[in-house]
Amino acid sequence: MHIRQIDLDDAEKLVNLILQVESESDFMLFEAGERKLTPEQQRNRIVAMEEEENSTIFVAEAEGDLIGYLIAIGGGARRNRHSVYLVAGILKSYWGKGVGTRLFLALEKWAREHHIHRLELTVMTNNRAAIALYSKMGFEKEGIKRDSLLVNGEYVDEYYMAKLL
Q: What is the CATH number for 85?
A: 3.40.630.30
- Say how many domains are in the chain: 1
pLDDT value of residue 20:
93
Q: Which residues constitute the domain of residue 78?
A: 2-119
Ranges of residues in the chain with a pLDDT under 50 are none
3-class DSSP assignment, residue 3: strand
pLDDT value of residue 32:
82
pLDDT value of residue 103:
98
138 in a structural domain: no
pLDDT value of residue 163:
98
Q: Which amino acid is at 45?
A: R
Number of C-beta neighbours around residue 125 at 10 A: 16
3-class DSSP assignment, residue 49: helix
pTM of the model as a whole: 0.93
60 in a structural domain: yes
40 in a structural domain: yes
**Spatial separation of the C-alpha atoms in residues 111 and 67, rounded to whole Å:** 22
Q: Could you tell me if 6 and 46 are in contact, meaning their C-beta atoms sit under 8 angstroms apart?
A: yes
pLDDT value of residue 37:
86
